[in-house]
Amino acid sequence: MRGTAMSVQIPRYSIDQLRRDIIAGSVEEVVLALPVLHGDPKGQRIAADHFLTEVIDNGLGACVYLLAADIDMRTGPGYAIDVAGAGFGDFVLRPDLATVRRLPWDDATAYVLADATWRDGTVVPVAPRRILRDQLDRLAGMGLRAFAGTELEFLVFRDSYQDAHDHGYRELRPATRYNADYALTGLDGVTPLVRDITRAMTAAGMRVETARAECHPGQYEIVFRYDDPLTTCDNHVLYKVGAKQLAAQRGAALTFMAKYDAGEGNSCHVHLSLRAEDGAAVFADPDRDGGMSRLMDHFVAGQLACMADLMLLFAPNVNSYKRLQPGSFAPVTCSWGRDDRTAPVRVLGAGHSLRLEHRVPGGDANPYLAVAAMIAAGLYGIEHELELPPPSEGGERLPSTLRAALDRWESSPVAHTLFGDDIVAHYANSARLELATFDAAVTDWERVRGFERN
């Protein structure tokens, strides 16, 4: 997050350009997508002329269960949205025309994100994009703006998605042969795909900053330029979709899951800074020891005070907690440090680039919820003028399982205050369904341990 907000100029594909391309025949379909609870976008392909003449003004109906279902699209009671009571009816997907893109990997196709509203035009408050907007509105009410960047890791395999599925996602062949962290050689299995991804994302309007191999065989990280948080999260979900589709086109597969095996997990470190409306760096104060302003002290202290309570928004799946293990670069206790990769909150940079890096989320995190949780926690610290403890001072142990995170989330007065009872109940129910599915599953570990010896 270098430079100032005023220096970031990312070209945008506009709705006017989309109209011209549709008329010229170079765009035939528009994908209208809604980010759902787990962060992945769901949607429909729409004929381009129908999108222009009907959907832009009137939106598009979609079943309400999109925001009340697990990753297998199973729903049930307990969500804040009563799907059965609504007769599995529709809410309305309203296109956010600021998000329109061309998809370089999908011929003659454009892409637009949507916000969910009820038929009367009121917002659906449990939608991840809405939850982030609400926290950004709180910041704006204080005369502050946020800027965010996500660093998202993935594992690449030489096997196709079909082959991976047919083999039960076991015994896959990583695209590199060893720990290639920062390596410049030995990357022949991954470099062509990464080049495809970086070129495609640049063509889709994102600004690539760096790309490098990581520790796990086949692991890579691509870092994009920071932006306002909503744009960053919109980019994030499109990047995940596009990367998977580009891998499939090469007969390869990649995964963002937090922990694929016993090796290093996939992280999603989130960088965040605040500015005043005039662009002033409110986190920086050169007259204070360490260069951090009192406001930044409070903001970081809020992260520490709320982190355990909001863990469900950073680590939403059973698998998320397999990555958060002692002795790894993934944090397990609540602390902060200056350029300290062992702490969950790492403070780095200076002046306009002074920022915090939240190191808890994994590659499976919903970016809208993770960033919303960071902002909400920071505002809690500011509003309560929380004092920042010394750096690297050991704090409480973070929840180490999804069940523990769920219990903490549901019983937390802080979570209820920051997000409201309906949102707490909605995402608690999502976690309960994830746990029930896991508890009913029979794992490879159980078969190996008990097939012959029980």
15-124 matches 135-442 in fold: no
In this predicted structure, what is the pLDDT of residue 5?
Answer: 40
Q: What is the DSSP letter of 382?
A: H
In this prediction, the residues of the chain whose per-residue pLDDT falls under 50 are: 2-8
Residue boundaries of the structural domains of the chain: 15-124, 135-442
In this predicted structure, what is the pLDDT of residue 182?
Answer: 86
Q: For 384-443, where are the alpha helices, taking DSSP H only? A: 402-411, 413-419, 421-440
In this predicted structure, what is the pLDDT of residue 180?
Answer: 84
In this predicted structure, what is the pLDDT of residue 1?
Answer: 54
Structure tokens at 282: 């409110």
Give the dihedral of Cα atoms 198, 204, 209, 211; nearest 10 deg: -20
Q: Which of 315, 132, 153 is nearest to 239 (CA)?
A: 153
Beta bridge partners of 117: 92, 123
CATH topology of domain 15-124: Ubiquitin-like (UB roll) (3.10.20)
| 211-239 pLDDT tens trace | 998 999 999 999 999 999 999 999 999 99
Kindly calculate the radius of gyration of the chain based on its CA atoms and give it in whole angstroms.
22
In this predicted structure, what is the pLDDT of residue 6?
Answer: 41
| 175-215 pLDDT tens trace | 998 888 888 888 888 999 999 999 999 999 999 999 998 99
In this predicted structure, what is the pLDDT of residue 4?
Answer: 40
pTM for the full predicted model: 0.96
In this predicted structure, what is the pLDDT of residue 8?
Answer: 44
Neighbour-count burial of 350, counting CB atoms closer than 10 A to its CB (0-12 exposed, 13-18 middle, 19+ buried): middle
CB contact at 8 A, 395 and 337? no
| Terminal C-alpha separation, the chain | 55
Options 3.30.590.10, 2.40.440.10, 3.40.718.10, 1.10.3720.10; CATH of 135-442: 3.30.590.10
Q: Give me the long-range contacts of 18-24 (CB less than 8 A, separation at least 24).
A: 18/100, 18/110, 19/52, 21/102, 21/110, 22/48, 22/49, 22/51, 22/52
